[in-house]
Structure 1
Amino acid sequence: MTRILVVDNHGQFTHLERRALRDLGVETELVDNDTPPEAIDADGLVLSGGPDIAQIGNCPAYLELDVPVLGICLGMQLMAAELGGAVGSGEYGGYADVDVRILDPEDPLVGSLAPETRVWASHGDEVREVPPGFTRTATSSVCDIEAISDVDRDLYGVQWHPEVAHTERGEEVFENFRAICEK
């Protein structure tokens, strides 16, 4: 059975990320972001959202574990910041329904979604510059960089929250990530 751990960055939806994976039949559990990297035993990791990029614990070290990683909201932002991209305050601010446009229909994480997909996202902070090795895979009128992928390193990120009911086809994002972890 595929084992995907959800790294808890203390976001309000983290438990829903674990539940979404469990509902797909994935072996999963929550681990705190201060868990030592050597204690991580998984086929993949989800870096959850959270309130503060200054409180990401050992998340930067988890990016070096040679397992697929999906960063959600803050998880994507910390990935970008740690790997040479840039993060800044969003112009839009808080949570809202957003129509994202999928830019790469071949992308293993978001390419299967509808070309225009309604999502629930926070834009208090957002990725402003894609890190080297990554491509921008989704955009919106609210945020230029809604999703990123580095398929060579199996690192992926979405600004939105696929685990909440307001996001169309959110389960599909987790299904696609499970497939990435199983390959």
Structure 2
Amino acid sequence: MTRIVVVDNHGQFTHLEHRTLRDLGVDVELVDNDTPPEDVDADGVVLSGGPDIDRAGKSAEYVDFDGPVLGVCLGHQVIAAALGGEVESGDYGGYADVTIDIEDAGDPLLGSLAPETRVWASHADEVVDVPDGFAITASSDICGVEAMSDTDRDLYGVQFHPEVAHTERGEEVFENFIDICDR
């Protein structure tokens, strides 16, 4: 059975990431963000959303995890910042229904989604420049980097929240991540 650890960055939807993965038949564990990667035994890691990049604990250390890593919202920003990308305050702060454009139909995380997919996202902070090795895999009218992937290192990030009901085909994003972990 696939085992995925969700690193809790104290976001309001972290429990939904855990539950979605559990409901998809994954052996899933929720650990606090002060847990070092070397203490985690898993096929993959999800870095959850959260209120503040300065309170992300050891999350940045997971960019070197020996397995796929998916960053959600703050987790996405942590990956970018840890690897030399740039994160700034967004022009749109609160949660909103956003239509993203899938930029790469071959991307293993998002390529199966519709070319235009509605998602639930917060843009208080956002990635404005991706690190070397990453491709932008989704964008929107309000955010140029709604998602990014580095398939060589199995690092993936999404600005939006696939775990909430407002995101179309959000469960499919997690199914795709499980497939990545099972490769």
TM-score range, shorter chain: over 0.9
In 2: Cα distance, 1:65 partner to 1:81 partner: 16
1:91-102 alignment runs, 5 A limit: 91-102=91-102
In 2: Cα distance, 1:63 partner to 1:145 partner: 18
The residue that corresponds to 1:20 in the other structure is 20
In 2: Cα distance, 1:143 partner to 1:65 partner: 28
The residue that corresponds to 2:70 in the other structure is 70
1:43-122 alignment runs, 5 A limit: 43-122=43-122
Q: CA deviation at 1:124?
A: 0.2
Q: CA deviation at 1:37?
A: 2.1
Q: Larger strand proportion, structure 1 or 2?
A: 1
Q: CA deviation at 1:65?
A: 1.7
Q: CA deviation at 1:182?
A: 0.2
Structure 1 stretch displaced more, 35-44 or 116-125 = 35-44
Question: Which amino acid is 2:65 matched to?
Answer: L
Give unmatched runs, 5+ long, in structure 2: none
Q: Deviations over 1:134-166 (max 9, x none)?
A: 000000001011000000000000000000000
1:141-180 alignment runs, 5 A limit: 141-180=141-180
DSSP 3-state at the match of 2:29: strand
Q: CA deviation at 1:36?
A: 2.3
- RMSD across aligned positions (CA): 0.5
Q: CA deviation at 1:66?
A: 1.6
DSSP 3-state at the match of 1:50: coil
In 2: Cα distance, 1:92 partner to 1:83 partner: 25
Number of aligned residue pairs: give it. 183
Q: Deviations over 1:37-68 (max 9, x none)?
A: 22110000000000000011111212112210
Give unmatched runs, 5+ long, in structure 1: none
Q: CA deviation at 1:92?
A: 1.2
DSSP 3-state at the match of 1:29: strand
In 2: Cα distance, 1:66 partner to 1:111 partner: 23
TM-score, normalised via structure 2 length: 0.99
In 2: Cα distance, 1:38 partner to 1:66 partner: 9
Structure 1 stretch displaced more, 31-40 or 47-56 = 31-40
Question: Which amino acid is 2:74 matched to?
Answer: L
The residue that corresponds to 1:124 in the other structure is 124
In 1: Cα distance, 2:109 partner to 2:37 partner: 24
In 2: Cα distance, 1:59 partner to 1:130 partner: 18
Q: CA deviation at 1:102?
A: 0.1
